[in-house]
Amino acid sequence: ILNLLEDLNSQIKSQDIKKIVIRAKKDMIKEEHTKRIANGIKRSSLSIIDGDHFIANKNSKLFNETVENFLNA
């Protein structure tokens, strides 16, 4: 599985398209780690929204609005 993740990471970093990294304010992933992830990905932006790690499931409306706003920007 590590090889798969490394390959995926390499592909994401090499693509010249805009990307979004979403973090919830009460996420189980540390904010500094999320910022490091976003900073390490070419043409990415970080969006921090209310909720926890499961925001896409618990509040899909907010999550989808965040993605839609990113895509329309």
Amino acid occupying residue 20: I
Cut 0.85: pTM above it: no
Between CA 65 and CA 27 the distance in angstroms is 18
8-58, pLDDT tens digit by residue? 777 877 788 899 999 999 999 999 999 988 888 888 999 999 999 999 999
Q: How many CA atoms lie within 13 A of 5 on its CB side?
A: 2
Provide the β-strand partners of residue 49: 24
Pairing state of beta strands 44-52 and 19-26?
parallel
Note the pLDDT of residue 40: 82
Note the pLDDT of residue 25: 97
